[in-house]
Structure 1
Amino acid sequence: MFELPLDLSKTRILVTNDDGIHAQGLKVLEKIARSLSDDVWVVAPEMEQSAASHSLTINRPLRLRKLDEKRYTVDGTPTDCVLLAVNHVMKDARPTLVLSGVNQGSNIGEDVTYSGTIAAAMEATLLGVPAIALSQHYDNGNPIDWSTAEAWGADVVRKAVTVAWPKNVLLNVNFPARKAEEVTGIQVVRHGKRKIGDELLERVDPRGKPYIWIGTLRGEADVAPDTDIHVVFSGGISVTPIYLDLTHTPTLQTLRQAFA
């Protein structure tokens, strides 16, 4: 079913996220999707699922609730939402494109390994549906300006689906913390390297028990001009293809020799 390029006027779009059904970014993405197609469905988590990664709920039943026509929520992860949407809610006419986001905060560098936003797009890709994850960067301490994603989102999607990409590939899009008119352009780049977890905050709760909170500081090791980190922090929109085959092919022969 992985059919690209797409005629967006005939596309059935599934919208999901990891920030939850009431998130502002989801409203922005719905608006983007409805500007592209008249056939838009929403299946999103009941609660925020940030950093849920590609987790799947298998130790309890899931509750699917219909909120309105073509609008549902699931008490599970972003992966659960896409799985139920494609194989249950929309099983008689599956989506032809999945849009995930718009995430509150960028998903650049190693963020993609933790992100529920990316995971929803991964699940769609594994189910044979082209998918694009979209995220809005913001500066800590400042409110999010969603107008950048809203102004540029439809154009990014339109351009992305005019070409074919392999069935095991999804697209990761990040908008900078700039006003829409200040965006420097769209660049297709690789992922850089930055790792959350360098800032661990040790505190004591009101009952005198110690706890540790993982902070937001990231060590940014690879910010070369051809990386998503550089582009987003420089005011541009980054587009990065993610390949789901995690096999490191060059090492196969080395290991085969070791185990011969």
Structure 2
Amino acid sequence: MRIMLTNDDGINAPGLAILEKIAAQLSDDIWVIAPAEENSGAGHSLTLTRPIRIRKHGEKRFSVTGTPTDSVMLGLGKIMEDFRPDLILSGVNRGANLGDDITYSGTVAAAMEGTLAGVRSIALSQVYSKESIGDGVSFDAALRFGADVVKKIITHKFPDRTLVNVNFPPLSPDEVKGVKVVRQGFHDYGRAAIVPGRDPRGFDYYWFGLHGMEHSPDHNTDLEAIDDGYISVTPLQLDLTHNDSLDALSKAFQG
């Protein structure tokens, strides 16, 4: 099995090193194609206003001066054009990609791009606690359970235009209670924090942050699973059509 690894935290991110260890338990044919710099929150963005450059760091290791989506597109269309991967793993992201935050996530977007290209794709993220900041984030749960989780997921035949989003709880491996396959949850809106500041030249600037993981109580969601100490596994579909609304909306335009 040939595996392509990518992320949104950049080629030098600690989580990518963890992902390489996970992938090494699955295959000896591993390619790394990741953004040159951090692209957290980039979502499914594509670079169109400037050229993108590829830098080779090793026989199967490359960085791309663009977004996670750019990395996957160049990986499949250029770097691995003659060596198409069987599986794309994106991560391990530093921080949660749960609930509606998946729409912002470059980690999940990279898996989306792989899915669009017809390659089985999985996004993996390590949730961390409020006490863990900077380089203090532990990836122990992801490292301990990552390979086993991926092995089980890939035994399942992926439907067309479907990917899988995995989150590991902010616990030591011995504290993890198991795995739950759950649906996507939703945070309470208004978690975004806008932090104002002023630069040395006297101009105002604003920095986006996030408050805690508050969310409306709901059962069988990724948010609840993580809160309860489980690894969350959520299949996601790229077809965003709300099928139940098609007939009713069509009738509004008839006649």
TM-score (norm 1): 0.92
2:39 alignment partner in structure 1: 49
Mapping 1:200-215, distance limit 5 Å: 200-215=194-209
Mapping 1:92-107, distance limit 5 Å: 92-107=82-97
1:252 to partner: Cα distance: 1.0
1:90 to partner: Cα distance: 0.9
Asked if 2 retains the 8 angstrom alpha-carbon contact of 1:197 and 1:214, the reply is no
2:13 alignment partner in structure 1: 23
Q: Which runs of 5+ in 2 are unaligned?
A: none
Distance change in 2, residues 1:76/1:196 (3 Å) = farther
Question: How far apart are the structure 2 equivalents of 1:115 and 1:223?
Answer: 23
Question: How far apart are the structure 2 equivalents of 1:202 and 1:62?
Answer: 32
1:161 alignment partner in structure 2: 154
Mapping 1:125-140, distance limit 5 Å: 125-140=115-130
1:6 alignment partner in structure 2: none
1:221 alignment partner in structure 2: 215
1:85 to partner: Cα distance: 0.7
Question: How far apart are the structure 2 equivalents of 1:105 and 1:27?
Answer: 15
2:144 alignment partner in structure 1: 151
1:215 to partner: Cα distance: 1.9
Question: How far apart are the structure 2 equivalents of 1:236 and 1:164?
Answer: 23
1:255 to partner: Cα distance: 1.3
TM-score (norm 2): 0.94
1:81 alignment partner in structure 2: 71
Distance change in 2, residues 1:47/1:249 (3 Å) = same
1:215 aligned counterpart, secondary structure: strand
Q: Which runs of 5+ in 1 are unaligned?
A: 1-10
Over the matched positions of the two proteins, sequence identity in percent amounts to 51
**Does 2:55 correspond to 1:68?**
no
Deviations 1:51-87 (A, max 9, x none): 0000011122110111101110100000000001111
Paired AA for residue 162 in structure 1: T
Of 15, 36, 40, which residue of structure 1 is paired with 2:30? 40
Q: How many residues in Structure 1 have an aligned counterpart in Structure 2?
A: 250
2:210 aligned counterpart, secondary structure: coil
1:5 alignment partner in structure 2: none
1:259 to partner: Cα distance: 0.9
How well do the aligned residues superpose, as a CA RMSD in angstroms? 1.4
Asked if 2 retains the 8 angstrom alpha-carbon contact of 1:42 and 1:71, the reply is yes
Deviations 1:220-248 (A, max 9, x none): 33342311111112211000001000111
Question: How far apart are the structure 1 equivalents of 2:71 and 2:221?
Answer: 30
Of 211, 230, 240, which residue of structure 2 is paired with 1:236? 230
1:251 alignment partner in structure 2: 245
